Structure 1
């Protein structure tokens, strides 16, 4: 497909907006169709009574990925007004004992590990050296490739590292961490990044120990104004390059026709907010929607590269129950990011990923207090709390609501988790100080984002669902149909979605290189056409 062609993008989350911006920069005429009334997808926003909540991602990691994406488009991530968090996060452990802070400086984290287990400081240093080396190799060869060809991977550097890579793929993150530390608290700190990957420490390959380099070496940042600031910046870039964004447009079909012995995508059909039906013709279609929904709901059975039987053999990432709480008074007991780990770590993950599934009780939970860093997210003297409770990916668990108006099971879990936070963090009057409350459950994710089994992230990063074994970004059966986002390569998270957009551009270009593209992308003379 030559630049100047028309491309329809399904979904206005970060992957859809980023894909649209890069394709428009390359000279294509791009239209984004978003089901909701606003863009952002899971990275949305909700406001009430002076509180503004990010409704999804809240950890800013891999800053160089954001920097690179903005530089591709001729600008800078400096516009995001980033603050460095120190501590990066605080960890509470079931059973009492002091909470621990993970700091911005690696030396301080080594001292913390040493204080909890003699000798662990030096072993953390070795662990992080390995994590940094693995991350560098991943960036150079695996994160930015479409895996359309394996020939570019047959380099001396990759072949020399093959034995270690093979071990890192076949051994679990939990086992790998256990080679370096034995204290259960330290193993949890090194194992928890699996949750960011929609997985569990015993399911995620140890290759993902590279994640510890990101938070314990690189540190954790925060964009003032919240994560909607990132979405707003990428939307503005897309529109500056001529992308047309249509909200309230729910795509109900990818239009295909026979072209010789192959099928070809020539557009999409969608419904507007008033129920009217429309057809948008295109030379190619990019779906940044959930891959399961795209394949099983928007294509006829005979053109599905990933039919329902494929998904029956796959492991979904966890679902989530979310709590958005506006609280009177200050909460210094909590850091900007706080993690609460249960003592029976294995039972917690077995409840989510095992059979039969159940909601863990007590649960390992994540609490974000952005008002610790950002005065714009809560009225003066009050706090904004965002709480994520990993649960099984199961829409039958129900949906949430405002002021206790969600499904009974969701509200019951919310009450229980609020009481847990109060006990563990030493805030006995927390429940009585809540002035704003909203809950979200797996049924909401299924309804609002067409997410597979109501999951919050996408397919879990297990061995069979990582790297080239994850969903491809191009249909095998329909020419001109591409995919982007967390359910395809390279995987879950905002940085991965930005990389996914870049890999998409490579795939459209027929570019088989493995490294990130040179900065900036040349601005095509066709960019900005509609």
Structure 2
């Protein structure tokens, strides 16, 4: 008889793990508390407009392809990918912008035109980043985080010094123009940490950016969720929405199932892709691995204040991905990670997917997503949301030299309270635990419970870390762990 696995949550890591486990012969059922699957990757549809309300960047296409290849298929059998050209645009103030093209040589030329000699420096910098990418993404991140020995290889031994320097130090010692420095520090934000706290080895994110490029699945990031859903169902995975998991049922220190909407579901194994901290609250205190003190001592990636805005006209002078760095980078980072206050002058990101994908907005109109990274657990009120929306829209108007406020058809927002309510997210975090040195690999929360037999975890609070590609990888890691330990 097949071993039964109950999976909590239907985010990328849960979907990935379920596919691998079903392929290996397990009886897999996913239980999702919300009415749609995908975890943080959901879509808002309203008045003919579409918004990805979670992830909007498609980086590391090779990781997605590796996932689908594991099942004898390809991403192109499920959705169409388009490489964005340009990849994105960065706004530093009025008439002060830098456009990042879709190929490295063009980007090097851009750097060279801004700072003499920086084109050649950038090539060398990206060569180092590619070397680290090959080591990290093709090998290290697929390891389970059981031991420090996983990180010790002939390749990493040659780069040990890169674990004791930082991205900021390397960038600022190589490039003098502050705008170029910020562009090279930006990709590290996907790891949920300050560049000044992120080891140099993580410059592999710069290769993901400049080397592999920025892509867009036609129809949005939710197309990836739909693809994984289709694959999972074809493998026999059962998915139940509106299914709130209220308890992990244990007998002694062994997981025996879950309580869902008041009903007991017997299981041989329980796998949670839900928030790690929340999952442990489903257990008796004595069976929790990590205390409240532990979680409070962690460095979390930011939360976000998000706006989904419909405009009755096309917006000028913006790209599909637009970054507004017209205020001090270091000050905003300090407010996220150190003082943990609402930022006085926030950097923000804006996505206008209808620039390249007409399915996002009716003809002649524009769909826009605005994101302000903020500290976790901040006070979240309608008044604060409105204050920050007015702030960033005014800056958008000034920098892009146009009026847009009077063209808003509607707007929706999503912030700390929503992350807590919708995803049981610790502190309302949006991305999980920051990938700093002391929270890397074997130093992250474990994928296998140390106190409860047959209980496993996956997702952005465990290995390998924040982001969509790491979540796919996390699903593979935990499934391999379960398969290995049960030896079907």
**Fold shared per TM-score above 0.5:** yes
**Mapping for residues 319-338 of structure 1, pairs under 5 Å:** 319-338=303-322
Q: Distance in 1 between matches of 2:164 and 2:249?
A: 41
State which of 322, 325, 335 in structure 2 corresponds to 1:351.
Answer: 335
Structure 2 equivalent of residue 274 of structure 1:
none
Structure 1 residue 351 displacement after superposition: 1.1
Aligned to 1:418: 393
TM-score by length of 1: 0.89
Aligned with 1:80: secondary structure?
coil
SS at match of 2:465: coil
Give the superposition deviation at 1:225.
0.6
Cα separation, 2, equivalents of 1:228 and 1:454: 22
1:205 paired with 2:168, answer no
The 5 A counterparts of 1:54-133 are 54-78=52-76, 79-94=78-93, 96-133=94-131
Q: Which residue of 2 aligns with 1:374?
A: 357
Question: What do residues 141-175 of structure 1 show as CA deviations (whole Å, max 9, x unaligned)?
Answer: 3110003355565543343x2xx2x3222222111
Give 3-state SS (helix, strand or coil) of 1:231's partner.
helix
The answer (yes or no) to whether the contact 1:253–1:299 under 8 Å persists in 2 is yes
* 1:192 aligned counterpart, secondary structure: helix
Aligned partner of 2:424 in structure 1 is 450
Range that drifts further, 45-54 or 199-208: 199-208
Partner of 2:300: 316
- How far apart in 1 are the matches of 2:373 and 2:161? 29
1:184-195 aligned at under 5 Å gives the runs 184-195=178-189
Task: Please report how far the alpha carbon of residue 397 of structure 1 lies from its aligned counterpart in structure 2 after TM superposition.
Answer: 2.1
Aligned residues: 486
Q: Deviations over 1:262-296 (max 9, x none)?
A: x111111122xxxxx1111100010000111112x
Partner of 1:294: 279
CA contact (8 A) 2:148 2:442 kept: no
Equivalence map 1:223-302=2 (5 Å): 223-258=217-252, 263-271=253-261, 277-295=262-280, 297-302=281-286
- 2:67 aligns to what SS in structure 1? helix
State the Cα RMSD in Å: 1.6
Q: 1:322 to 1:119 in 2, by over 3 A?
A: same
State the shift of 1:194 in Å: 2.1
Q: What is the aligned partner in structure 2 of residue 37 from structure 1?
A: 35
Long gaps (5+) in structure 2: none
Deviating more after overlay: 299-308 vs 23-32: 299-308
Residue matched to 1:403: none
More displaced 10-residue stretch of structure 1: 195-204 or 224-233: 195-204
How far, CA to CA, are the matches of 2:282 and 2:385 in structure 1? 30
| Rounded Cα–Cα distance in structure 2 between residues aligned with 1:431 and 1:464 | 44
Provide the rounded CA distance (Å) in 2 between the counterparts of 1:426 and 1:205.
39
How far residue 425 of structure 1 moved from its aligned partner, in angstroms, is 2.0
| Native 8 Å contact 1:31 1:244 kept in 2 | yes
Does the Cα contact within 8 Å between 1:342 and 1:362 map onto a contact in 2? no
Q: Does 1:475 align with 2:449?
A: yes
Say whether the 8 Å CA contact 2:143–2:150 is kept in structure 1. Answer: no
